[in-house]
Amino acid sequence: MAIDIKEVEHIALLARINISEKEKVEFAEQMTQILQYVEKLNELNTNEVEPLYHILPIYNVFREDNVVESPDRDELFANAPQHEDGYYKVPRIL
């Protein structure tokens, strides 16, 4: 499959870039070479090759879900600069 100048112009328009006439010719040749290489790769028999989803092995690391006692409310409010009626008091933001 060959890419012509018209298709390069269309791609440049979609990408919102200005390219010169010389660049249009170069890009058409380069894109044609890329597509030829992909077509050559498609000739390979990959029936027995498993797809590679990620280059590194990925696995979830889970921790035990242990129930622990919550700190006392007074203990938590001891670190708060201000508190009132069981709530943290913060500056008003409008």
Q: What local confidence, expressed as pLDDT, does residue 55 receive?
A: 86
Is pLDDT of 7 > 90? Answer: yes
- Over range 13-34, report the average pLDDT: 95
pLDDT tens-digit series, residues 50-85? 888 888 888 888 888 899 998 888 888 888 899 888
Range of the domain at 21: 5-42
The answer to whether position 22 is within a domain reads yes
Q: What local confidence, expressed as pLDDT, does residue 40 receive?
A: 92
CATH number at residue 38: 1.10.20
String of DSSP letters for 6-55:
HHHHHHHHHHT----HHHHHHHHHHHHHHHHHHHHHHTS--TTPPP-S-S
Under 8 Å between Cβ of 83 and 90: no
Question: What pTM value is reported for the model?
Answer: 0.50
How far is the C-alpha of 89 from the C-alpha of 82, rounded, in Å?
5
Under 8 Å between Cβ of 38 and 72: no
* Tally of structural domains, the chain: 1
Higher pLDDT, 24 or 61: 24
